[in-house]
Chains A and B, each alone.
Chain A
């Protein structure tokens, strides 16, 4: 187990390193002067020159690459051109906003998806199952931003039940963590993005759970339990527990595409998250912010993949830690 852990951890570090190197290359290809990445073009010649020297941007590329890695390790992403303050200071709140939204949507989507999938698999052939599958197909074929637009049109513009976007009423500002995320105003604003994200992300766990249930359903142990006299619900529960494993595997892939969908969702609902921040930053040519947002999103994906991997190996004792 220990050896497996260490090996997996090293692999994760390598992936992290390669992705960071790709980021270094990618962001230095952005339009404009290669130093455009780090030094605001609107500064005058003298001030630019001073910053170039200060940040080592006159050094050879390889030297710069090492500095880049060192800075990332220290969470030092440079200075934002737009906000005129250190990048981390400027985007840490957007990062939290994304984490709060996705951190709520994902567990709900997984829980609902697993329960619904277990039910659909167990009641195979019922009208309910048919309906579930059609709904899943439609949701899986819907772009998340369009789903968001439809949800907005219905619940906000038509029924006037929810605000049209943003995270809080204009004028009010969150003081401290608790009052930001625990006010009714915030929850009211989170309603629609949360609904959209949950609907969108529950489809895959549901369908995978269903297929897995169908496979487990024919196994002997269930016949045995049935003969012992277990009730139908109890049987379903036993079947579901055994069917969970593929959903866990899938969860790692899901984490990856959650951080794609979320960018679009944040744009539709004007949710001040890190994905929206990245898109805005690219528009404003505020490259330090764009780069930092991208790095943070990648790190979250890689980190979550690692966590899910460990979870999986704990859940399934059949995996050999070779």
Chain B
């Protein structure tokens, strides 16, 4: 008992661990800060935006402020119908981030469970689940999403559905491989011998060991989800009632403004790159926790 106590005492408390982690990984800290910024935009965008993002702006003489380069009045210029690019970029943060977070949650939920069950039970259950995974790998994602959304109708929910239906495949394979090795470890045998049910072994003893991997794929999943959402928006399948970064680029491309209107194409693109990169960096820092060997590198 005393020994155990000593062990517990020797490991630093949780706040200290967090502090050490944040201090050790400066890039992850930077990523969290960038994300914090975009989360604020996603949550409070309409209140922060200086103008109504869909309203056309007119000059005093009544002419449309069309494709105007950045000025003191319009910091990031205007679109071909006189909308404020800055306001659109701010308000457009919500949908990609929301789609990324929600679909990543479901992607990882399905992927982790498929991986756990396939890896643990093996035999024909494994065979069936892995063949289903193969099927998911056999379908090209963007074409599938385009067709599915044409079937179900344009909208944010359907974009999330398309992402969830296919992208669980990666985490399922990776987590299954991990479970296959975990299953051989003595603690699983010990649990089995002491009469624990399969369910208990799987979710109580094995699942915590794959949690870091799950978190890693959660972070990657958000990154993929955002990229998928903006891609579908760019094809013109976003919700026409709302604004997102992908749709901004769709309109910029379709109107031919990409010829010269860098103020219209750069802001949404840079916002996408920063958000997605932050999620990748955070995923990488989870990876450092999951696999201590990587910390040295």
Interface residues of A (CB under 8 A from B): 11, 14-16, 18-19, 22, 26-27, 29-31, 124, 137-138, 140-146, 149-150, 152-153, 157, 214, 253, 256-257, 259-261, 263-264, 267-268, 275, 278-279, 282, 290, 293-294, 297-298, 301-302, 305
Contact = CB atoms under 8 A, between A and B. Distances in A.
A92 to B, nearest CB: 18
B189 interface: no
Given A27-B147, A141-B272, A153-B265, A279 B253 contact: no
A29 B134 contact: no
B231 A264 contact: yes
Given A15-B134, A29-B151, A297-B140, A268 B146 contact: no
Contacts of B140: 256-257, 259-260, 294, 297-298, 301
B137 A153 contact: no
Contacts of A150: 265, 269
B137 A263 contact: no
Given A153-B262, A261-B142, A11 B147 contact: no
A15 B150 contact: no
A27 B147 CA distance: 8
Contact of B131 (A11, A257, A302): A11
Interface of B: 131, 134-135, 137-144, 146-148, 150-151, 170, 223, 227, 230-231, 234-235, 246, 249, 252-253, 258-260, 262, 265, 269, 272-274, 276-277, 280-281, 297
B137 A298 contact: no
13 contacts: A15-B134, A30-B150, A31-B150, A138-B273, A140-B277, A140-B280, A141-B227, A256-B141, A260-B143, A264-B142, A278-B143, A282-B147, A301-B140
A294 B147 contact: yes
Given A11-B131, A31-B151, A19 B258 contact: no
A14 B258 contact: no
A275 B141 CA distance: 12
A151 to B, nearest CB: 11
Contacts of B281: 137
A22 B139 contact: yes
Contacts of A294: 140, 143-144, 147
Contacts of A142: 269, 272-273, 276
A149 B249 contact: yes
A218 B70 CA distance: 53
B63 to A, nearest CB: 26
